[in-house]
A and B are shown apart, each in its own frame.
Chain A
Amino acid sequence: MSHAVPLESDSAAATGGPGGRGLEWFGVAAILMLVGAQALGLLTSPADRDMGHLQKIMYVHVPAAWNAFIAFFVVAVSSLLYLWKGQERHDLLAASAAEVGTVFTALTLALGSIWGRPTWGVWWTWDPRLTSTAVLLLIFVGYLSLRAFIEDADRRAQWSAAVGLLGALNVPIVYMSVRWWRTLHQIQSTPSTVDPEYVVGLRANAIAVLLVLVYFTMKRYRAARAERLAEQLEEQAALEGRGA
C-alpha cells in the first residue's frame, strides 16, 4: 500500500487495546472516588450556622466550578500550542476539554441556581461570578458549534484554536466588567475562607471531580482521535477510488 496511514501506531489505543482497558479502570476508580468523597462530605459536615444543611451543596457546586475553569484553561493552552506547533493532538485535546468543560459549566450554573434559591431567595441573580460563568458557557457553546459546522479538518482545527484562545482571553474581561456593573456575592469559597471542618470534604470532592474530569477528557479525546483516523482513512479510500 503506497499511502501509509499516519497515526497507525495509535489505532490500537483508539480502538481499545490494553491501553483502553486501563482508562476504563481509571474511570471506575474516579466515579467510586466521587461517591466516596460525597459520602465523606455529607456524613462529616455539621450543619452550618448560617446556611444549615444547604452548605452541603458546596461539595458539588464548588468542585464543579473549579474543574470547569481547569477544563477551559486546558482549552486555552492547547489552542495556543496548536497555533504555535500545528500538531493535531493539541486540537483534539482542546475540543475534548471544551466539551467536558461545557458540561461542568452547565452543572455549575444549575447547582448555583439550586443553592441560590433558598439562600438569596432567587434562582438567578446578576452577580459577577454567576453572570460571567454564563457568558463563559455561551462562548464555549459558540466554540463547539463552530466545530460542528466545519467539515475540513485543518480549517476546523485552525479556526477553533483562534476562537478558543480569544474566548479564554475574554473571560477575565467579562468578569471585571460584570463586577463593576453589579456586585452581590459572598466571598469566593476557597479552603481559606471556609470553616476548617468543611475543608477536608471540599478538598476530597474537588480531587474526585478532577479525576472524573480527566477521565471524561481522555475518553473523549480517544473517541475524537478514532474519528479523525476514520476520516483520514475514508479520505484516502475516496482518493484511491478516484485514481483507479
Chain B
Amino acid sequence: MAFAGDLRRVRAIVWKDLTTERRSKAGFNAVAFLGILILLLFGFALGPDAEALRNAAAGALWLAILFAGVLAFNRSYQLELDGGALEPLLLYPAPRWTIFAGKFVANLLFVLMVEAIVVPVAIVLFQVKAGTGWLPALGVMLLGSVGFVALGTFYASMASRSRAREVLLPLLLFPMLIPVLLASSEASASLLAGNPMRDAGAWVRLLVAFDVIFVVASFLAFDHVIEV
C-alpha cells in the first residue's frame, strides 16, 4: 500500500522533470547536437579510412554519449536549485529514495532519447554494418546507460550544489565509469562485428553486476547525501 504511494511519487517527479525539459527544449536539443558534434570530430580525427572508422565506432559512440550526457545531470538539479524548489521537495513526508528514483528515471529517459538520435548518426557516419547482433547491441546500450545514469544522477546531487560544479562532476564521474565504457564498447563492438556472444557474454555479465551494485549503492548513499 505504502509502496504504491511511493511509486506514485516517483512517477510525479519523473513527469515533472520531463515536462520542464519538454517545455524548455533548448537543453535536449543542445545535448543531442553536442553528441553529434563529438561524433563528427571523432570522424575527422580518425578518418577518412572506412575500416579505421568502423573499428573505432563503438568507442567513439560511447564517448559521445558520456560527454553529452554528463551535461544533463547537473541540469536536472540546477532547475530546482535555481527555483529554490529542492528544499520543499525534501520536506514532503516521503522516503528520500523516491526523489532519487524519480530523477534517475527522468535522466535515463533523457539519455535514451539522446541515444535514439546519436546512435543512427554514428551508424551512418562510421559506416557500421549492423549485422545480426543489432538487437543484443541495443540491450548492451540500455545496460550501459543504466549504470551511467545511476552514477551520474548520484554524483550530480553533490556536484550541482558545490562550487565548480562543471568540472567537479566529470572529475568524479568519469573514472568511475571506466568499466562501463570498456564493457559497453567491447560488447557492442564484438556483437556488431558478427561473432555473437564470443566474448560479449562476459562483458554483459560485468555490466549487469556493475548496474546492480551501483544502482543499489547510489540509492542507499543518496539518503545520506541529500540530507545535508
Contacts and interface: CB of A to CB of B under 8 A. Distances in A.
A and B in direct contact, judged by CB atoms within 8 A? yes
Interface of A: 83, 135, 138-139, 141-142, 145-146, 149-150, 152, 154-155, 158-159, 161-163, 165-167, 169-170, 173-174, 176-178, 180-181
Interface in B175-228: 175-176, 178-179, 182-183, 186, 199, 202-203, 206, 209-210, 213-214, 217-218, 221, 224-225, 227-228
Contacts of B162: 146, 149-150
A152 B162 CA distance: 10
A173 B205 CA distance: 12
Contacts of A162: 158, 221, 224-225
Contacts of A161: 224
Contact of A166 (B171, B174, B178, B214): B214
Interface string B55-81: 000000000000000000000000000
A154 B172 CA distance: 19
A83 to B, nearest CB: 6
Chain A interface SS verdict (over half): helix
A166 B218 contact: yes
Interface residues of B, number: 33
A143 to B, nearest CB: 8
Nearest to B175: A138
Contact of B158 (A83, A135, A163): A163
Contacts of A158: 224-225, 227-228
Contacts of B209: 173
A174 B168 contact: no
A149 B224 contact: no
Given A146-B158, A169-B213, A178 B182 contact: yes
B1 interface: no
B176 A145 contact: no
B164 interface: yes
Contacts of B163: 149-150
A73 B69 CA distance: 32
B223 to A, nearest CB: 9
Given A138-B175, A139-B176, A145 B225 contact: no
Contacts of A180: 182, 186, 199, 202-203, 206
Given A138-B175, A150-B162, A173-B209, A166 B202 contact: no
A180 B27 CA distance: 37
Contacts of A83: 221, 224
A166 B172 CA distance: 11
Nearest to A175: B179
